[in-house]
């Protein structure tokens, strides 16, 4: 099989680890951040720019590709890698999150979800099997189980019933995936269970019993406070096997990445850094900067003097502000390049800290300096780290 | 002085010539096409991409930069080259064309034009002197006289009166430019005179008497048929000195570029190739292709198999169509890169044909093959070339 996950080092003071995730399209250093290429492109970027900023794996959205251009077109192109000219690893989500976000446009039963396209109102139906077949046609290296995404907040009864459905669907996804038997794609199970630690543990145990190549923690980053995210991770991760990658879905702010890595997470994805960038806000070593603001009209410094990205090597805040104000797409491209580069350098520093057993110092420095400048505080108000299991 | 124009070869059968235009920011091979960076950026492209497709000089618009970000901001950045991170030659227009395109929003008198911004309706006034001062602040290598752009069609009396004003304004621009005396920027005069050959000749003679470093033919590409464009060139160019560059404003379709070069034109600019690209239409060696069309949904060939551009080396028609359909800006970037590359390779082939004294054969082949596929016919229905003066 062309998949392998190797934990190379476990940090001495936390659950954090560095590792290598091998896929048929190359190896990813973990902990890894995955930028989101919703429609077979990370907005504003070429695949070569994506590589240049440091991306090693890209996420793409099954729901969007199913609607446009359609899985058959991508399959005819030879799969998503060739379609979008990205030869590195790709992960596709199951479409579940998007379908369940279509408030009022959907109907769920135990077999699947009926929904209306957000584009033209046309009616469609996703089942676990259809999601799997679409993901198979797209051909990503890593594919995800079709799950029910619980709304936040949800009461316990609702969370229990939803989890039953998600577990049953995971079983169907797993069975279909096993039947393919070609080892081209690795299927990840998704732990749901809302904010209830015991449900999370139950969910994890059920999935681990099925034996997936990797496990995701889903249903977070849906409006809950960071303390809850952290609690759920602390309940869930110890139930997951040490030798499989763990993927926290939908998290992409540096503080939560740090907290998640601390608690044993290996992969995350989020639209946040790229969306912020398109709205004109960039991360820098000195804090967040809303470069659209008039204050930067005559600021001829780079976005971040400490940054090595294409935008910072060649362009000024004043020019990028101008581009954003006059709607020249180069502006959003430059801020996107910068924010992703910031985040990939952050991941590099994180991996170095983990490898050198100095994550507590890294964390402390982060919340004192750069993290504080970015407006981040430790979740739970500086509470100490979870003890290592 | 850092400006020089050298004619290196005159084609044996036409007025065409190849030459070198030296500026403080580098040398341009002529005949040269100038892509338009209206707002200090060629839409969708970085300056490095612009260089890669073969651009040697870029045009930017004084009217737009005057409104946003304002000439003072660009001057504070160290000039337009540094502001937009393009270290090659730049030409700015005078703002005249844009101001006169603001139908209903302007009032002209002999001293200048009062107009309302198309952005917020605020009132402004351009005079020849103000246009010159703004262009001086922007700091382009080549700047243009402020002229009145005659509407098409215009009767003879209207054309005569307008030309008087344009000539008077050229005198004021020239006087101010001479007073600067620093040789940092070359000022081009603009020949107007509508469709009237004798007015064009009169205009050219008046400007030549003032002695400009270069001469433009203005007021074309405003809706007149190609035959008229050609007639105006045939009346005007012989009145312009052999040792100065000649710039045909607003022309950028391959057929008219060819006809203009034949008649002795050295430079042109146009938004056409980049605008067509953004609307999903590309030039190829086999004809125009509207890649947005459904016919290309499963066409996995490059835009043009004969093209060496970044888009054609890496992406398929199907993928580019998808990007355009889902409004991913990478799509417009790729079509823009392709169309500009097509045009710059066309310019290379034109210069080679001129240098080798085989422009008639090049022209004939063009209208039989590639040009016919692109939908172009020789202006005047195949009429033979103008005799060399």
Predicted confidence (pLDDT) per residue in B87-111, tens digit: 999 999 999 999 988 877 789 999 9
Which one of B47, B69, B297 has the shortest CB-CB distance to A297? B69
Using the Cβ of A318 and the Cβ atoms of chain B, whether some distance falls under 8 Å is answered with yes
Q: Does B323 touch chain A (CB under 8 A)?
A: yes
Tens digit of each residue's pLDDT (9 = 90 or more) over A106-119 = 899 999 999 999 99
Tokens of B98: 């844009």
Q: Considering only CA atoms, which of A17, A44, A21 is closest in space to residue A213?
A: A21
Residue A381 vs residue B68, higher pLDDT: B68
Considering only CB atoms, which chain A residues are within 8 Å of B316? 77, 83
Enzyme catalytic residues of B? 93, 269
Per-residue model confidence as pLDDT tens digits over A164-190: 999 999 999 999 999 999 899 999 999
**B-proximal residues of A, 290-309, CB under 8 Å:** 297-298, 300
CB contacts < 8 A (A, B): 105
Q: How far apart are CA B190 and CA A368, in angstroms?
A: 62
Q: Is the peptide bond before A130 cis (omega within 30 degrees of 0)?
A: no
- pLDDT per residue as tens digits for the range B228-266: 999 999 999 999 999 999 999 999 999 999 999 999 999
Q: Which helix (H) or strand (E) segment is A26 a member of?
A: strand A26-30
As beta bridge partners, residue A142 has A91, A186
User: Which residue on chain B is closest to A119 by alpha carbon?
Assistant: B326
DSSP states of A155-217 as a string?
Answer: -HHHHHHHHHHHHHHHHHHHHHHHHH---SSEEEEEE--TT-HHHHHHHHHHHHHH--SEEEE
Q: What are phi and psi of A78, to 5 degrees?
A: 100, 15
Structure confidence by residue, pLDDT tens digits, A234-268 = 999 999 999 999 999 999 999 999 999 999 999 99
Residue A78 reports pLDDT greater than 90: yes
- Residue A329 to residue B325, Cβ atoms within 8 A: no
Q: Is the per-residue pLDDT at B271 higher than 50?
A: yes
Mutation site, B35, B47, B69, interface A, largest A CB count within 10 A? B69
pLDDT, tens digit, for every residue of B360-373? 999 999 999 999 99
Contact A85 B315 (CB under 8 A): yes
> CA-to-CA distance for B51 and B53, rounded, in angstroms?
6
Surface of B (136-175) touching A: CB under 8 A: none
- Spatial separation of the C-alpha atoms in residues B58 and B61, rounded to whole Å: 10
Q: How far apart are CA A164 and CA A46, in angstroms?
A: 41
CA gap A56, A51 in Å, rounded: 7
Q: Is the peptide bond before B379 cis (omega within 30 degrees of 0)?
A: no
| CB < 8 Å to A77, chain B | 298, 300, 316, 318-319
Nearest one of B80, B88, B87, B77 to B61, comparing CA atoms: B80
By Cβ distance, the residue of A39, A84, A319 closest to B83 is: A319
CB contact under 8 A, A46 and B333: yes
> CATH for B4-270?
3.20.20.105
Phi and psi at B239, nearest 5°, equal -85, -5
Mean pLDDT of B122-131: 96
Task: Please indicate whether residue A182 is annotated as part of the active site.
Answer: no
pLDDT, residue B389, reads: 42
Domain boundaries, chain A: 31-269, 277-367
Point out the catalytic residue in the list A141, A147, A266, A269: A269
Q: Does B63 touch chain A (CB under 8 A)?
A: no
Tens digits of residue pLDDT in A122-161:
999 999 999 999 999 999 999 999 999 998 999 999 999 9
Question: A43 and chain B: CB distance < 8 Å anywhere?
Answer: yes
CATH number of A31-269: 3.20.20.105
The whole-angstrom distance between B65's CA and the closest CA on chain A is 10
Please give, one letter per residue, the 3-state secondary structure of B308-324: CCHHHHHCCHHHHHHHH
CA distance B259 to B241: 19
Mean pLDDT, residues B214-236 taken together:
95
What own/partner pairs with CB < 8 Å and gap ≥ 24 does A177-184 have? A177/A132, A177/A143, A180/A136, A183/A1, A183/A2, A183/A3, A184/A2, A184/A24, A184/A139
A314·B41 Cβ contact <8 A: no
Which run of H or E residues covers position A364?
helix A359-368
Interface pTM (ipTM) of the complex? 0.97
The pLDDT, as a whole number, for residue B343 is 98
**How far is the CA of B363 from the CAs of A209, B228, B349, B370, B389, in angstroms?**
74, 19, 11, 10, 19
């Amino acid at each position: 099989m062309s998949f392998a996950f190797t934990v190379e080092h476990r940090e001495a003071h936390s659950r954090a680890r560095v590792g290598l995730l091998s896929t048929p399209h190359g190896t990813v250093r973990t902990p890894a951040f995955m930028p989101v290429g919703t429609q077979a492109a990370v907005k504003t970027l070429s695949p070569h720019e994506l590589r240049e900023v440091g991306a090693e794996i890209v996420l793409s959205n099954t729901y969007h590709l199913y609607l446009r251009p359609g899985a058959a077109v991508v399959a005819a192109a030879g799969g998503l890698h060739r379609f979008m000219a990205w030869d590195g690893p790709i992960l596709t989500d199951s479409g579940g999150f998007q379908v369940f976000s279509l408030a009022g446009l959907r109907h769920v039963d135990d077999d699947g979800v009926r929904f209306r396209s957000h584009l033209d109102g046309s009616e469609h139906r996703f089942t676990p099997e259809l999601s799997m077949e679409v993901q198979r046609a797209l051909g990503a290296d890593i594919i995800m189980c079709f799950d029910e995404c619980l709304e936040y907040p949800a009461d316990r009864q609702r969370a229990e019933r939803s989890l039953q459905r998600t577990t049953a669907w995971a079983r169907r996804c797993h069975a279909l995936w096993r039947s393919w038997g070609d080892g081209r794609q690795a299927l990840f199970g998704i732990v749901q269970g809302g904010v209830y630690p015991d449900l999370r543990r139950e969910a994890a145990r059920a999935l681990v019993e099925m034996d997936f190549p990797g496990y995701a923690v889903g249903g977070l980053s849906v409006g809950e406070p960071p303390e809850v995210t952290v609690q759920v991770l602390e309940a869930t991760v110890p139930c997951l096997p040490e030798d499989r990658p763990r993927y926290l879905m939908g998290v992409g702010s540096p503080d939560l990445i740090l907290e998640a890595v601390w608690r044993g997470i290996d992969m995350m994805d989020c639209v946040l850094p790229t969306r912020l960038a398109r709205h004109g806000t960039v991360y820098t070593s000195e804090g967040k900067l809303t470069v659209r603001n008039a204050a930067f009209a005559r600021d001829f410094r780079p976005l971040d003097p400490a940054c090595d990205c294409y935008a910072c090597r060649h362009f000024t805040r004043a020019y990028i502000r101008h581009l954003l104000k006059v709607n020249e797409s180069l502006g959003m491209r430059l801020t996107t390049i910068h924010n992703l580069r910031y985040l990939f350098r952050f991941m590099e520093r994180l991996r170095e800290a983990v490898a050198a057993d100095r994550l507590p110092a890294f964390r402390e420095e982060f919340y004192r300096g750069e993290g504080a400048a970015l407006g981040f505080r430790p979740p739970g108000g500086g509470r100490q780290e979870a003890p290592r299991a």
